[in-house]
Amino acid sequence: MRVLVAELGEPETTRRFRLLLGRLGVGVDHVRGQSVPPDASPYDGIILGGSPHGVYEGEPWMKRLADWALAAADSGKPVLGVCFGHQLLGWALGATVDKNPKGRERGTCFVDLTDAGVADPLFQDLPRRFEVQQTHGDHLATPPTGAVRLAGSDHTPWQSFRCRNITGVQFHPEIDRELLTLLTKREGEDADVRDAPLQERVLANWARTLR
């Protein structure tokens, strides 16, 4: 199995995808997401990663990347969006993306699964409430058309969604405590950061959908 990661921000997150998925026997290639996306046909799945950009900036590469990801999904490939990738996929499916009026969500935070989330393969073997790593200021302000909400929090109601074989998570299942601490210090802000090992199961569960 092999997946392609569209790297849109911090290169270290790609290394984490490669490490965690590699433990599951999944190979990882990556491409800078602002470039013209390659042919997705050789890959078993697609991941769109995080970015310092906002979807509402309307850069041409964003629509190009979103259209490419939707085409990959239409061909039957599982597509996972993480943080910005979650927002971009949501936007491509009709959601509105905006700055969260509650401010940034940064650090190790709890998310709660909906009934649909409990039953969804993406969250198999996870408790209804568990901790995840977060660093984002934007959110899905309105829901994607035809999507099912899988997880939320008081700060960000749309923490995860599914629309057929497209899934999005607002949090970062690939980031560990060490990397999140580094990123928050680089941004000049403090955050409560702890280990959140359960979130790594999200990637493992997604990997099981590859074929």
Judged on CB neighbours under 10 Å (0-12, 13-18, 19+), 61 is: middle
H, E, C per residue of 167-189: EEECCCCCCCHHHHHHHHHHCCC
Catalytic residue among 30, 136, 139, 172: 172
Residue pair 144/184 in contact (Cβ under 8 Å)? The answer is no
Judged on CB neighbours under 10 Å (0-12, 13-18, 19+), 98 is: middle
Catalytic residue among 7, 10, 105, 174: 174
- 172 carries an active-site annotation: yes
**Angle CA 102–80–72, to nearest 5:** 130
Catalytic residue among 83, 105, 155, 163: 83
Active site residues: 83, 172, 174
